[in-house]
A and B are shown apart, each in its own frame.
Chain A
Amino acid sequence: MAKSGADVNYEIEEQGDYLVVHLNGDVDLYSSPHAREVILKCLDRDKHLLIEMSAVVYIDSSGVASLVEGYQISKSKNLQFGLVNVSENAINVLQLAHLDKVFPIHDSIESVVQGGNAG
């Protein structure tokens, strides 16, 4: 089911041991608190987490901070965390932050879910 908070829309689906959050729109200071809340609530369910970002139009440092927090919490719980189909605008920001080498980044959800390795 698609939901929205500020200018970011998101949809959550369950695929086996994974929760997949589809983020789209602008993940900025206005909307990133909602994105962060969604990510943290998913992690409360103790499932591996994939953030699908093909439709992210814009992400700022507050949006990136939400991803970093999710990544760190996942690690602390021994859960996998990965980014999938990252849009060009978003990957440019991750590269700028040197985080493209930190986050596991994948081309497709299927390759992770079937392979069982989000990173």
Chain B
Amino acid sequence: MPTISAEHVAELRFHANPKYLKLMRCVVKEAIILCGGDVSLADKIVIAVNEACMNIIQHAYNDDSEGEIILEIINNQPNLVFKLTDFAETIDASNVKPRALDDIRPGGLGTHFINELMDEITFTVPDSGVGNLLIMRIKI
């Protein structure tokens, strides 16, 4: 059986400005459907990718909208892979933890959402040695 190589479905480079999140969500949802995911799954994945972008905007770039984010969507059947690269100061991945859900207070839910919705999450440093690379994988 021939091996099917991973296909780069889409790449979006945008400023770390919340006004671009809706555009990003539209791209992600359509890409998932294009790759064979159903709408229900697409809606869930969109939540996770959106929260990951929010974390970059708020925590990596500290709300500096001049920062840049690169989103790559890769179809590697049966998986979809989402790579998010930023150029902020490299973070200590061990500090990225979800909070306890029974602690009812505003904020701190994003990491929980990502962990719940994605099959695999990897924090690393891009090959360039600058910034952060978050790789999220989910089987569709």
Residues of A bordering B, CB below 8 Å = 6-7, 26, 28-30, 58, 60-62, 64-66, 68-69, 72, 89, 92-93, 96-99, 102
B22 with A30: CB separation less than 8 A: yes
Q: Is B112 an interface residue (CB 8 A)?
A: yes
How does the 8 Å CB contact mask read for B20-58 relative to A, with 1 for contact and 0 for none?
011001000000000000000001100100110010011
Expressed in whole angstroms, the Cα–Cα distance for A93 and B46 within the complex equals 11
Expressed in whole angstroms, the Cα–Cα distance for A61 and B58 within the complex equals 12
Expressed in whole angstroms, the Cα–Cα distance for A28 and B23 within the complex equals 12
Nearest-neighbour CB distance to chain A for B77, whole angstroms, equals 26
Residues of B contacting A96 in the complex (Cβ-Cβ under 8 angstroms) = 47, 112-113, 116-117
Selected from B19, B101, B112, the residue in CB contact (under 8 A) with A30 is: B19
Residues of B contacting A64 in the complex (Cβ-Cβ under 8 angstroms) = 109
Q: Is B107 an interface residue (CB 8 A)?
A: yes
Q: Which of B57, B105, B117 has the most CB of A within 10 A?
A: B105
B43 with A89: CB separation less than 8 A: yes
A68 with B106: CB separation less than 8 A: yes
Nearest-neighbour CB distance to chain A for B65, whole angstroms, equals 11
A60 with B106: CB separation less than 8 A: no
A60 with B104: CB separation less than 8 A: no
Expressed in whole angstroms, the Cα–Cα distance for A30 and B17 within the complex equals 8
In addition to A7-B22, A60-B51, A92-B44, 5 A-B residue pairs with Cβ atoms within 8 Å of each other are A28-B21, A60-B21, A93-B47, A96-B112, A97-B101
Nearest-neighbour CB distance to chain A for B63, whole angstroms, equals 10
